[in-house]
Structure 1
């Protein structure tokens, strides 16, 4: 019996697919968090971005205003209906299963 080991090729395929999946998961988190982010003039909402470091296989969702962290952490602030603090943390927990499925989907596709 001959066996061809294609471990390096498989690893490269899965690494690329992993980056694709991380981006899908991060974009989903961004989309959901945008529905909860405090809104006045929508500056905070528009500052949201999803990114992936494909070399280290790390994804991030961030909001880039000088008050983004404060708005996220201050539980006593009053917000418009449906908008709230913890606008990134809560969707991360609530959408966990969906995000994990989105991350895994491109890898499953590569494996056939």
Structure 2
């Protein structure tokens, strides 16, 4: 018996998959930003804790950009002035150093959310 030729037509709509992957990447970015915020909060200069309490993490999903910020009038000065004296365990460059230290963790958080979306 001869094999009967078969034909198939497959229509793939990748838009829903792309949307879900983008949402997963945004979730991973937010988790990463929260992680960096937590690390930086442990070393941010501390006097009355206003600077520490002003820390926030957010994500702009359309551009897939995560942000960690501190919102006080002196946040940038405290971050940049290496000559300021801080309490033990507190330091200038609190955000920059925390981001550099957490880079691999942030990448892993993003990758984990994308893997989860691909299941």
Query: TM-score, normalising length from structure 1?
Result: 0.95
Supply the distance in 2 between the matched residues of 1:95 and 1:32 (Cα, whole angstroms): 8
RMSD, matched Cα: 1.0
In our comparison, the structure showing a higher alpha carbon Rg is 2
Shift of 1:2: 4.0
1:103 is aligned to 110
Query: TM-score, normalising length from structure 2?
Result: 0.90
1:57 is aligned to 64
Q: Secondary structure at the match of 2:94?
A: coil
Number of equivalenced pairs: 112
Supply the distance in 1 between the matched residues of 2:35 and 2:105 (Cα, whole angstroms): 8
1:87 is aligned to 94
2:73 is aligned to 66
Note the residue ranges of structure 2 that are not aligned, 5 or more in a row.
1-7
1:28 is aligned to 35
Note the residue ranges of structure 1 that are not aligned, 5 or more in a row.
none
